Chains A and B, each alone.
Chain A
Amino acid sequence: MDKRIATADGPGGATDVTVASFDVHYRHYLDPKGALIGEAPAFAKDREIMLSLYRAMTLTRIFDTKAVALQRTGQIGTYPSCLGQEAVGVGYASVMTDKDVMFTTYREQAAQIWRGVTLTELLQYWGGDERGCDYAGPREDFPVAVPIASQAPHAVGVATAFKLRGEPRVAVCALGDGATSKGDFYESINLAGVWTLPAVFIVINNHWAISLPVEKQTATQTLAQKAIAAGIPGIQIDGNDIIAVRQVVGEAMDRARKGEGATVIEAFTYRIGDHTTADDATRYRREEHLSAAWKTDPLARLRTYLGAQSWWSKEDEEQLIAECRQKVEAAVAEYSAIPPPLPESMFDHLFETLPAALAWQRKKMAER
């Protein structure tokens, strides 16, 4: 018997009884100063894994800083900085396999870089060239979704395909705090719940949807609890603690792979940069918020942890920064050398085969 259907014999006695109750957990392992809280997962003791995460976060930050500078000097277009959000992106991407598929908003350069999207492709896209979304690496990953939350339904569809084919693959969807106010998000987690789909929804709560702080986005205590309305687990984590991100997303991926369904993970982080290079956050954000955010910086925290394990030295840091700068400069040089697309190429992927009725327009464009 479906317990949601009122029955003649059910719950008797009092006029008002509790029929369902929920709680929302928060998980963290590394405190903002980089000290371990309690027992860390096994991978946190694996030097190679932890160093690879730190290297990716550092590369992301150096790339991001450069991209902002390129925009300021007119070499790429409007760009959304991911400064301060490197741990969550690297963290969830690092527990995905090549067979999993990623769906993200536009501030997920950290995850994209880990997944194998090249720095050149990122510059190409933000430099205004669709060819930057023709990823050489993760061929099945969706390009970033600009309309907020609109990628969540795609993740549901891809997860449905995985489930129908019996493939142990997971659709991983990252979206922001603002996205949780949209129907797309709820429709998607709801369907993922009803169909027990292999999907993980990571709500990257960076506290700001352009100028709107999260407390004006919703009256709920947490964003994780929105999962309850979809009948799936929701958990909150410290998104600047890469150990927590990797561990909790990994648990959700395991559940999804085993056919146990979807999860919503709310990852606390902070958007240290402006919304995009076209935004000026000083119009709506006080300086003390920023200085507080820097105290939770995911890179400094992980660096402290690595140092405490004697895995990382000042020399290692200097060498890594030099390597990352070199990679970024090489990508900038490669990007700058790419000729712009031909005007008529805007017709070339409109359809698999250009309809005869449009052929003359392409011809005209080519002749201009």
Chain B
Amino acid sequence: MAEITMVAAITMALARAMQDDDRVVVVGEDIAKNGGVFRATEGLLERFGENRVMDTPLAETVIAGMSIGMAAQGLRPVAEFQFMGFMYPALDQVINHASRLRNRTRGRLSCPLVFRAPMGAGIHAPEHHSESTETLFAHIPGLRVVIPSSPSRAYGLLLSAIADPDPVMFFEPTRLYRAGKEEVNDNGHGLPLDTCFTLREGRDVTLVTWGAMVRETLAAAQTLAAEGVSAEVIDVATISPIDFDTILASVDKTGRLVIVHEAPRNLGPGAEIAATVAERGLLSLQAPIERVAAPDTIVPLPRLEKAYMPDEKQILEAARRALTFA
């Protein structure tokens, strides 16, 4: 079993899903011969042929809409959008159709599809290539929004997303694509959706995060451990619907909550987690909830992106404020 990057794990999951299920097809811009802008679909054309790995014209609305049509016909389309920031022309299809086809036909038609898009800052990319707008999608009923944070979770969650009978938005932090390697067993086993992953157990403070910020948050937990503080780290993974039970149980144990995300502070899953803990777990809290997030600004061009993204220092400061609150 070899150690592989997250992007390689995504390719492996796509290939596994295509091998195990003839209904799975992959569509998008530059995904066939070129293997995708991040090479996530590398080798699929050679292996599965042009009837299952299809380069589309440069037209995001029809990529989204045709995927809905294919899904309604029983195929399992996995569409790649080159960047989250280029998905917005497809929002009409996502919001008005993919999320509600099952509902508006009372289950007569359904929409088992996956829309994949790279997300997030930190790779010195041009304008519009560094978005963290998962909130837009998480706000839409009828959609699942999944963000992996490691090679093995990318593999398992993508397999489950493809197997899921409903639409899944699968956002892949570009900063993690090649940030580290991990042993991933190509066993075809999915990981559960709608479930948080507790990456590190702890007693003193709960750090809740997802996507690229999982790395900084784990690093912060390590630093805290060296100081004798036991931090629990939860990777939300499915941003919608959120597994609040895991978060609430952790806060019940630790009494302190720090929420970390790369998306802007305003609204979003972080706010929803804070609100839900305030509603359902207020009496377990021993300190105010802390949020570490990007500012409510446009994600800047690369010269300022480091300043924009939350870092380990900010997480540690927030954790210490929570830990020392009296």
The interface of chain A, by Cβ under 8 A from chain B, is 101, 130-131, 133-135, 139-140, 142-143, 145-147, 150, 152-162, 164, 171, 183-184, 187-188, 190-191, 194, 346, 348-352, 355-358
Contacts and interface: CB of A to CB of B under 8 A. Distances in A.
Q: Report which residue of B57, B61, B89, B141 has the largest number of chain A beta carbons within 10 angstroms of its beta carbon.
A: B61
B96 A147 contact: yes
B264 interface: no
Given A150-B93, A164-B75, A187 B59 contact: yes
Given A147-B92, A351-B166, A352-B110, A156 B65 contact: yes
A147 B101 CA distance: 13
Nearest to A357: B241
B70 interface: yes
B19 to A, nearest CB: 17
Contact of B72 (A135, A158, A183, A187): A158
B66 interface: yes
A352 B69 contact: no
B102 interface: yes
Contact of B56 (A134, A154, A191, A358): A191
Interface residues of B, number: 46
Contact of A134 (B67, B106, B242): B106
B243 interface: yes
Contacts of B166: 351-352
Nearest to B64: A153
B108 A153 contact: no
Which 7 residue pairs are nearest across A and B when measured between Cβ atoms?
A: A153-B65, A157-B69, A157-B66, A161-B73, A187-B62, A357-B241, A154-B69
B69 A158 contact: yes
Contacts of A145: 97
A150 B241 contact: no
Interface string B240-252: 0111110000000
B40 to A, nearest CB: 21
A150 B96 contact: yes
A2 to B, nearest CB: 16
Nearest to A156: B66
Given A159-B69, A161-B73, A352-B102, 16 more contacts: A130-B104, A133-B108, A140-B109, A150-B65, A153-B61, A154-B72, A155-B69, A157-B69, A158-B69, A160-B70, A164-B75, A187-B57, A191-B66, A351-B142, A352-B110, A357-B245
B105 interface: yes
Nearest to B193: A355
A143 B65 contact: no
B103 interface: yes
Nearest to B112: A352
B69 A184 contact: no
A164 B25 contact: yes
A350 B69 contact: no
Interface string B71-94: 111110100000000000100110
B180 interface: no
Nearest to B96: A147
B51 interface: yes
Contacts of A139: 108
A143 B101 CA distance: 9
A145 B107 CA distance: 17
B70 A133 contact: no
Nearest to B60: A187
B66 A130 contact: no
Given A150-B97, A351-B102, A187 B61 contact: yes
Contact of B66 (A101, A160, A183, A355): A160
Contacts of A351: 102, 142, 144, 165-166
A140 B73 contact: yes
Contacts of B102: 349-352
Contacts of B89: 183
B318 interface: no
Contacts of B108: 133-135, 139
23 contacts: A130-B105, A130-B106, A131-B106, A133-B105, A133-B106, A142-B72, A150-B92, A150-B96, A152-B65, A153-B64, A153-B68, A154-B72, A155-B69, A161-B69, A161-B74, A183-B59, A184-B92, A187-B57, A188-B62, A188-B66, A350-B103, A351-B142, A352-B165
Nearest to A158: B69
Contact of A184 (B54, B62, B141, B242): B62
B194 interface: yes
A131 B51 CA distance: 36
Contacts of B62: 152-153, 156, 184, 187-188, 190-191
Q: Report which residue of A134, A346, A355 has the largest number of chain B beta carbons within 10 angstroms of its beta carbon.
A: A355
A131 B106 CA distance: 6
B54 to A, nearest CB: 8
Nearest to A193: B57
Nearest to A351: B166
Q: Report which residue of A101, A150, A159, A160 has the largest number of chain B beta carbons within 10 angstroms of its beta carbon.
A: A160
A348 B103 CA distance: 8
Nearest to B105: A133
B97 A191 contact: no
A190 B77 CA distance: 20
Given A150-B93, A150-B97, A183 B61 contact: yes
A132 B194 CA distance: 31
Contacts of A147: 92, 96
Contacts of A142: 72, 109
Contacts of B51: 164
A152 B104 CA distance: 18
Contact of A357 (B73, B110, B244): B244
Interface in B137-152: 141-142, 144
Nearest to A132: B106
Nearest to B75: A161
A188 B65 contact: yes
Contacts of B241: 355, 357-358
